[in-house]
Amino acid sequence: MTATRNVAIVGGGQTNWGERDATWKDLAQEGGKATFDAVPAIGPENVEGLFVGAVQPERFANQTHVAPLVAELLGIEVTEMTARTELACASGQAALRYAWLAIAAGQLDTALVLGVEKMNLGREYMPEMQSSMSNVLDREFDGVNGLAAPPFFAWYAQRHMHEHGTTREQLSLVAAKNKSNAAKTDFAQFRSAIEPDEVTESPEIAPPLHLYDCSGITDGASGVILMSEEKAREVTDTAAWITGSGQSSMAGNSINNLPSFSGWPQARKASQNAYEQAGIEDPLGEIDIAEIHDCFSISEVIEYEELGFCERGEGGQFIEDGRSRLDGDIAVNPRGGLLGCGHPLGATGVSQALEVTQQFKGEVSRNRQVDDPTTGLIHNLSGSGSVHSVMTLARDPQ
């Protein structure tokens, strides 16, 4: 696929993330206001298209048909296109992709993408919250057999350790890196720097995964404004230009059809498609920032390999050698990733894209600013890891 028009993310904003005393509607309004405040040249009256990433508002907020609801809450009269996207943990990136394609095709010039999730309903509702999370698997077959996220990703950790010699200490390095990055991020759910030993000593959840290897249950919203090149240049001198996008599902949804329990060839295929569109031949040498889907520490290790940062089986050594740190070969999850920022499902992919945009603009905290970044990547997996989505971005248009 070749886009016909250049499309830029010109800016955006987000709520504080965490266990919020706020409703779904509150978060949508707060995230929308933060987005418009960050791009003062654009107001609700300028938005032609609205795309809302939201995973389970029917269960978490007892509300469906949420895209028109968001338009009403934010005072937007959508004149061209509106949609809610649902692709489990990749819902936010799906919204970004649809907005990008609509603008590239000439259907829109300006779009708002907003990801919203309200997941914390009170401690007394924890069983219901956990039950809802099993909906992203094949609930009739995988969900009823106890395949919540921690035991599912523990299988991957066990198999990767068996096949490639990945160590418990290497997993702890991932979690410590990301949580320590999040300590420098003002909206993050978890803002305390930790050491690898603290990860290993945290309560065991699903062997070999411990509490700090797992992303949190998070409320939050994140939004960005996408514009055609002509319109974007009227608003800003620095933007994040979308250069490529890939998505691959090679296994359906049931775990019975997954091609591997130690890797994700779907991620490799999705990234290859994005790299081809963007003209990237050496991702490790050509990408400065990667916001990738570290829902569990093992996920990031496998993603190093499948996204082409190292060979298969070398992900553990990649983190051990410090190559994914802020000052390493490629800055992976400088905002703190899902392990540090939290994971409000529909907002995650949008926040990743916003992080890359703000890094290009030099708008993040100095102690986590990557040195002169010009290229970036965002990655999400969803469901049983069966679907992987990748988008590449650049500070200058192609």
Annotated catalytic residues are 89, 343
The two tokens of residue 125 are 């509702």
β-pairing, 240-249 with 289-291?
Answer: unpaired
Residue 21, classed as helix, strand or coil, is coil
CA distances (Å), 95 to each of 84, 99, 225, 273, 290, in order?
7, 6, 12, 18, 19
Cα 248–Cα 251–Cα 256 angle in degrees, nearest 5: 155
* Cα–Cα dist 169/348, whole Å: 27
**Cβ–Cβ < 8 Å for 316, 324:** no
The two tokens of residue 51 are 């795309």
Beta bridge mates, 114:
52, 223
Cα 269–Cα 379–Cα 340 angle in degrees, nearest 5: 150
User: Would the CA dihedral through 272, 273, 276, 280 be positive or negative?
Assistant: negative
* Cα–Cα dist 28/16, whole Å: 12
Cα 261–Cα 93–Cα 76 angle in degrees, nearest 5: 155
The two tokens of residue 8 are 């830029």
Residue 249, classed as helix, strand or coil, is strand
* Cα–Cα dist 169/174, whole Å: 9
Beta bridge mates, 294:
none
Per DSSP (E only), the strands in the chain are 7-14, 49-53, 81-85, 110-117, 204-206, 209-210, 220-228, 240-249, 289-291, 331-332, 375-382, 387-394
